[in-house]
Structure 1
C-alpha cells in the first residue's frame, strides 16, 4: 500500500509510520506514476484538496470530523484519526483491501457479462433448418450455456449445459467449455472428454448437459445426455409432444461415466428442444407439473421468461423448416 506524504505538519506522523512499516511513502506530485488500484493512506486535507482517484484511507485530526465526512462523500474507503489508529492497523488494512477488491469485482461484472455473451455462437445458415435460442442469466453471469457449430457441410454439432451453482466460478466453466469443444466429433466423445477433464482437475462442480449431432440432409439426429433435466422434447406436427427421457450421471462425479446414445428422425416442421432447469422456474407445482406447463408453452410458442429470474435460463431449438 501507499502512504502519501502529508503537506502539513502532523504531530503523530512518525508514530503512524512506525505502526505501518510495509507501506511505501510517495509524494502527491508523483501520484500519476503509481498503480491506481492500490490503496493509499493520506491526510484528509490533502485528499479533499487534490481529489485524486486512488482508493484512499483518510487520516484526520481529532477535531476534523466534518472533513472526514466530506472525505467519505468524496469516496474515501475509510476514515481514521491520526492519534487513534485501530488496535491492529495491519489487520484492518487487510480487511479494507479485501472489501475494496470485492467491490471492484462487482463493478466489473457488467463488463464480464458482455464478454460472456460474446462467446455465444453466432447464427449460422443451415439448409432446411433454423436454430433458435434463448439466453437469460439470473444475475450478470450465467452457469447455463449452449453452443453449436458445423463439423462438415452436412452435420451440425450442438450442446446445452448447466453448471451447478451460480456466479463467477460456474460462468468460468462455461467459457472453458466454449474453448474446449472443437476437438470432439460426436456427442458421446464430447461428454466423455469433458467428464475426464473435470474429474482430473478435481473441480468441485458438476455439469449436466445434452449434446447432439444433426445431419441436415438425412434429418437423422443423434444425442446423448449427462444427467440433464429437463429432458429433450420433440415436437412434431399433429402429434403429441415426446419427452425424450434418459438416465445418466452428470459430468464430474465419476471417471466411469456410462454414456448412451439415442437417435431419431426429424420430420418436416419438427422441433427438437433442450432447456436448462431454469426454464421450469416460471411455473408453479412440482417438477412434473412444471415440465407439463413448460411443454405446453413451448408447443404453443408462448414461453416467455420473466424479467427477473431466480435461475439461469437457456433454451436451444432445432427446427426443420421443410
Structure 2
C-alpha cells in the first residue's frame, strides 16, 4: 500500500484528501503545520507528499526546499497544493523540486490522476535506477574478470624481454592478450580486440582467452607442435560473427629462438611495427593481413621474419592509432612510427611508456573511448 503524507492547515481540505485517497487504497497520514510534518515524514516514510504552500508556521516553499535537501526524503515526489491565483508560487515550487501542483478547489478525479501519475513515474525512475546499478555492478564484475586475465608480469621461463601498457577505456572494452611459453625454444604472444564495449565485449574477450589457453594446452598434451596457421583457422571457425554478433581482430607472434625467426599471423588487426636495431630499419608488417575473424574469409596465412639480438616488435590495438585530439585528427600510424623510431636506443620499457604518454597527451589527458594496449618485445638472442 502506497503511503501519502498530506500537509495542510485547513482541516476540511485534509479530511477531503484523506477520504479521496483512502477510498483509492492509499495509506494516508495528515499534518496541520510545517513543524510536525518534517518529523512525521521521517517516521512515516511516505511514497508521496501533498504540500500546501500556505502554512501558519512556515512558508511552504521553504518546507519544500527542506524536504528536497534531506537525504532520506529528497527522492520523495512532492505535489504542491495552491490557490488558483498563486501562479508565481506554482512556478517557484516547480523550480524548487516539486513534481506537480493541484489547484484548490480540486476534483477528486484530478487528485487521484495526479497522485497516480507521479507515483507511477517515481516507480519507473526507481526501477530504472535499480537496473542501472545492476548494470554497473555487472560491468564492474566483467571488468574485474577481464583485468584478472591480463598478465601482470612476464611468465616464468619467458626469455625475451616484454613490456606492455594496458589502459582500459571508461567503458568495459574487449582488448585481451597473453604470453604463452610453448617450449624451451618457442613462445607465443597474441593480442586480440573485440569490437564494442560493455559486458558482452568483455565476456567474449574472456572466452577468446580461454579458447587459446585450452587450444595450446591440448596441443601440448597430444605431443604436437603448435602451428600458428592452424591456431588462426581454429579461431576463425569458433568465433563466427553470426554466433556472437561482435567482430574480433587478432595478431599473433610465435618466437623461434633456436632458428632466430618469428612467425606472424594477422586477422584484421593493426599491423605490428618491426624494428631492426642493427641497421635501424623500421617497418609495419603489412603482410599478411587477413579479414577479421568470423566472416569465413580467414585462411590462416602467416609470414616469417628473421630476427637478431636487439630487434623489436611492437603490437598494439586500434585504440592507440585512432585516438582523436581536440581538432578531430587521429593519432595515426605515422605518429606512432616517429615515436618508436626516436626511442630506438631507449630501453624497451621506456619506449613503450613514452609512446603511451604521447598518445595520452594527444588526447589531452582525457579518458580513452577505446582500450589502449601497447606491447613491446625485444629479442635477446
Q: If the length of structure 1 is used for normalisation, what is the TM-score? A: 0.73
Residue of structure 2 in register with 1:15 after alignment: 24
Residue of structure 2 in register with 1:154 after alignment: 185
Contact residue 137 and residue 311 of structure 1 kept, 8 A: yes
Residue of structure 2 in register with 1:263 after alignment: 304
The alpha-carbon deviation at position 58 of structure 1 amounts to: 3.2
User: After superposition, where does 1:268-283 map in structure 2 within 5 Å?
Assistant: 268-281=309-322
The farther-off stretch of 205-214 and 181-190 is 181-190
Measure, in 2, the Cα distance between the counterparts of 1:159 and 1:320.
16
Contact residue 175 and residue 193 of structure 2 kept, 8 A: yes
Contact residue 60 and residue 80 of structure 1 kept, 8 A: yes
Measure, in 2, the Cα distance between the counterparts of 1:189 and 1:50.
68
Measure, in 1, the Cα distance between the counterparts of 2:177 and 2:73.
41
Q: Secondary structure at the match of 1:149?
A: strand
User: After superposition, where does 1:6-155 map in structure 2 within 5 Å?
Assistant: 11=18, 12-13=21-22, 15-16=24-25, 48-49=42-43, 58-63=47-52, 65-66=64-65, 68-71=67-70, 73-74=71-72, 77-79=75-77, 84-87=114-117, 93-106=123-136, 109=139, 112-122=142-152, 123-126=154-157, 128-155=159-186
Count how many residue pairs are aligned between Structure 1 and Structure 2: 287
CA, structure 1 residues 75+88, in 2 after alignment: closer, same or farther (shift >3 Å)?
Answer: closer
Give the one of 160, 165, 189 matched to 2:196.
165
The farther-off stretch of 193-202 and 104-113 is 104-113
CA, structure 1 residues 225+14, in 2 after alignment: closer, same or farther (shift >3 Å)?
Answer: farther
The alpha-carbon deviation at position 95 of structure 1 amounts to: 4.8
Q: Deviations 1:207-250 (Å, cap 9, x if unpaired)?
A: 11101222333333212110112x01111112310211033110
The gaps in structure 2 that reach 5 residues or longer are: 7-14, 28-36, 53-62, 80-110, 217-226, 344-350
Measure, in 1, the Cα distance between the counterparts of 2:38 and 2:266.
61
Q: Deviations 1:247-295 (Å, cap 9, x if unpaired)?
A: 311013x2353220111222100111111112114577987x8212201
Give the one of 255, 260, 265 matched to 1:214.
255
The alpha-carbon deviation at position 136 of structure 1 amounts to: 1.1
* Greater Rg over alpha carbons, structure: 2
The alpha-carbon deviation at position 120 of structure 1 amounts to: 0.5
CA, structure 1 residues 92+187, in 2 after alignment: closer, same or farther (shift >3 Å)?
Answer: farther
Q: Once superposed, what is the RMSD of the aligned Cα atoms? A: 3.7
The alpha-carbon deviation at position 154 of structure 1 amounts to: 2.8
Contact residue 60 and residue 67 of structure 1 kept, 8 A: no
Measure, in 2, the Cα distance between the counterparts of 1:44 and 1:86.
23
CA, structure 1 residues 88+5, in 2 after alignment: closer, same or farther (shift >3 Å)?
Answer: closer
Runs of 4+ in 1 over 6 A off after TM superposition: 4-10, 43-47, 283-287
Measure, in 1, the Cα distance between the counterparts of 2:241 and 2:171.
29
Residue of structure 2 in register with 1:311 after alignment: 370
- Larger % of helix: which? 2
The farther-off stretch of 140-149 and 61-70 is 61-70
Say whether residues 1:199 and 2:240 are aligned partners: yes
Say whether residues 1:233 and 2:276 are aligned partners: no
Measure, in 2, the Cα distance between the counterparts of 1:182 and 1:235.
28
Q: Deviations 1:36-75 (Å, cap 9, x if unpaired)?
A: xxxxxxx996773499xxxxx832233474564145x337
Measure, in 2, the Cα distance between the counterparts of 1:91 and 1:270.
64
Q: If the length of structure 2 is used for normalisation, what is the TM-score? A: 0.63
